[in-house]
Amino acid sequence: MAAQRGEGDEVVTSPATTTPEPAADVRERARAIPEAAVARLAVYLRVLSGLGDQGVTTISSEELAGAAGVNSAKLRKDLSYIGSYGTRGVGYDVEVLVGHIERILGLTRKHSVAVVGIGNLGHALANYGGFGSRGFPVAALFDIDDDLTGVPVGGIPVHHIDDIVTVCTEREISIGVIATPPQAAQAVCDRLVSAGVQCILNFAPVVLQVPDNVEVRKVDLAVEMQILSFHVARRADEAAGDVVNGVGVDGVVIRP
Amino acid sequence: MAAQRGEGDEVVTSPATTTPEPAADVRERARAIPEAAVARLAVYLRVLSGLGDQGVTTISSEELAGAAGVNSAKLRKDLSYIGSYGTRGVGYDVEVLVGHIERILGLTRKHSVAVVGIGNLGHALANYGGFGSRGFPVAALFDIDDDLTGVPVGGIPVHHIDDIVTVCTEREISIGVIATPPQAAQAVCDRLVSAGVQCILNFAPVVLQVPDNVEVRKVDLAVEMQILSFHVARRADEAAGDVVNGVGVDGVVIRP
DNA sequence: CGATGTGAAGCCATTCACAGCA
DNA sequence: TGCTGTGAATGGCTTCACATCG
């Protein structure tokens, strides 16, 4: 079972996978892109799309890096993973770069999405236009509640979770989004996997067990908040420590 | 302006910050915890709390690691960052560990949260019980829409975003959550910063510009989907490449 | 004896700095 | 000349392996 990624998780690009064939350019290239770089490429793509809409045709690494919130060396290295599409002395053609990043991220194909768990978050996700417009049409909704089944949410009818395998297989769902309570998440996950779904975005605060061929990413709001809390605490400590030395958080005496 | 973290972002523990004083144990220790480890500590905490509720009193690194989806060496190293609270030959006391992780994450203090942007996602966040129960009470809601102001959502009245500074200052908000459309995000962020909010969780797909003393974490659903899309594409390539060699994604000829 | 805690080694990722090209 | 693309250097995180101790 593969551990899921998300937040500041481990970023190990399958270390065990052997490289049998010496050739095979593109897939080798795709394999070689560090996970961290993939996440940033998605950000560059968003920024570039915005610039393109504004009529910008060319941009330097310095400018794009600024707009994406990274330093320019990192940006250039990230782009170098996907090829050499810049012009020295000039910069990058926005449209060309958009095309290449979309290709690498696999956005030239449609990826149908199923959302399971139509509570507050599920509703929000079903109604969130950002998915469909970016090539991720929400093609199926599921919930365990009979009162919801049949009722359309965001224009899509809700099915019962017992139908996950049938419906997902039929509609060729490639990404499953789990927005159920934690207790239900693993069972839902198992069904999605049975339906052939290979990628899962998990909002439930549980560690899902999946086969190695399934990719899981998790978004855990509580964890995000706690990371921020850690930084609040650290700052408070530093500030307090600079004045009243010898005493740490919560009045715990550091040097008795 | 500091770049925000999130997803598989850069994890650099403030390299520029100088260490003036040589002593100061706890804050030094807190500072020394790698960002990646902090994220995992939050996961361990959740697992441990669950185990505690089930009556488990002691657990080994191997078991806890399994439940948290990491390997045991990593878990032990993570725990070693916060101190030596295990018993050799036995394992860790669940309750003791929960206490120490909570302390390190700053969860012994309440962190009031403000949610800005009461659309689909904002509604979901306001109604999401997981926050309050975990020490992050949602203490204020804001929206630009006059029709919403005054109306309570999840029991909390919505204020106009013009009141962010007043209300947040008054209620000592320590974490701001931005769930607005992208166009509004930077302006909202600026107001939160003016109100003294030092931590921001950003759901809007934009790169926020903030002063160095403000910590931003971002959750970008589109980016998450695109990372999964990348993996779908990579897998498809590998599978296709193993059979029909010489041709890559989208029929692009690799070896002409 | 068995599991923790931790130096040391290895591996990624970021950053630097400059060669190379338009 | 100016900016890209990239080897080399650096720094952090993960993994290994074992000394240590209850």
Task: Give the pLDDT score at A134.
Answer: 80
Please report residues of A whose CB lies closer than 8 A to that of B106. 229-230, 232-234, 236, 249
Residue A12 CB in 7 A reach of strand D: yes
Distance in Å, residue A63 CA to nucleotide D3 C1': 12
pLDDT score recorded for residue A245:
44
A58, β-bridge pairs: A93
Binding-site entries of B for NAD(+): 117-122
Does A203 contact strand D, using a CB cutoff of 7 Å? no
Interface test with B, best of A33, A228, A243, A250 (most B CBs within 10 A): A228
Angstrom CA distances, A108 to A24, A148, A216, B220, stand at 20, 34, 21, 20
Q: Nearest CA to CA, how far is A90 from chain B (Å)?
A: 25
CA distance A112 to A114: 7
CA-CA distance, B104 to B89, in Å (whole number)? 25
User: B71: exposed, middle or buried (C-beta count within 10 Å: 0-12, 13-18, 19+)?
Assistant: middle
The per-residue pLDDT for B135 is 86
Give the CA-to-C1' distance from A19 to C13 in angstroms.
Answer: 21
Of residues 138 to 197 in chain A, which lie within 7 A of strand D by their beta carbon?
none
Q: Give the integer Cα–Cα distance in Å for B97 and B114.
A: 30
Nearest CA in chain B to A12: B8
- The predicted structure's pLDDT at residue B254: 30
For A110, the closest chain B residue by CA position comes to B229
- Helical segments of chain A, H only: 25-32, 35-53, 61-68, 72-82, 94-104, 120-127, 129-133, 164-170, 182-194, 221-243
Secondary structure string (H, E, C) spanning chain B: CCCCECCCCCCCCCCCCCCCCCCCHHHHHHHHCCHHHHHHHHHHHHHHHHHHHCCCCEECHHHHHHHHCCCHHHHHHHHHHHCCCEECCCEEEHHHHHHHHHHHCCCCCCCCEEEECCCHHHHHHHHCHHHHHCCCCEEEEEECCCCCCCCEECCEEEEEHHHHHHHHHHCCCCEEEECCCHHHHHHHHHHHHHCCCCEEEECCCCCCCCCCCCEEEECCHHHHHHHHHHHHHHHHHHHHHHHCCCECHHHCECCC
Q: What is the pLDDT of residue A239?
A: 75
Q: Does B124 touch chain A (CB under 8 A)?
A: yes
**Using CA atoms, how far apart are residues A226 and B43, in angstroms rounded to an integer?**
10
Local confidence pLDDT in tens for the 256 residues of chain B? 455 666 444 333 333 333 333 344 555 566 689 999 999 999 999 999 999 999 999 999 999 999 999 999 999 999 999 999 999 999 999 999 999 999 999 999 999 999 999 999 999 999 987 787 788 999 999 999 999 999 999 999 999 999 999 999 999 999 999 999 999 999 999 999 999 999 999 999 999 999 999 999 999 999 999 999 999 998 887 777 655 443 433 333 333 2
- Token pair belonging to B83: 């101190």
Q: Which nucleotide is nearest to B11 (CA to C1')?
A: D12
Exposure letters A130-145 (e unless 16+ CB within 10 A, then b)? ebeebbbebbbbbbbe
A157 CA to D5 C1' distance (Å): 50
Structural domains in chain B, sorted by start: 33-104 (1.10.10.10), 113-221 (3.40.50.720)
Quickly count: other Cβ atoms within 10 Å of residue A71's Cβ: 14
Tell if B229 CB is < 7 Å from nucleic strand D: no
* CA atoms within 13 A of residue A9's CA, in its CB half-sphere: 23
Contact B27 A175 (CB under 8 A): no
For the CA of B230 and the C1' of C7, the distance in angstroms is: 38
Pairing between β-strand B113-116 and β-strand B138-143 as defined by DSSP bridges:
parallel
Beta bridge partner(s), residue A160: A143
Q: Which residues of B touch A215 (CB under 8 A)?
A: 228, 231
- Angstrom distances, CA of residue B214 to CA of A3, B142, B211: 31, 20, 6
Contacts of residue A73, defined as CB under 8 A and 6 or more positions apart, other chains included, come to none
Handedness of CA A144, A145, A151, A154 (dihedral sign): negative
A35 touches strand C (CB under 7 A): yes
Contacts of range B84-90, beta carbons closer than 8 Å, 24 or more positions apart: B86/B61, B90/B58, B90/B60
- Residue A228's pLDDT is 97
Q: Which of A24, A39, A250 sits opposite B7 (nearest CB)?
A: A39
Q: Average pLDDT by consecutive 10-residue portion of chain A (256 residues)?
A: 53 34 49 93 98 98 98 98 97 98 96 96 89 87 97 96 98 97 98 97 97 95 96 84 46 33
Residue of B185, B217, B172, B184 whose CA lies nearest to B199: B217
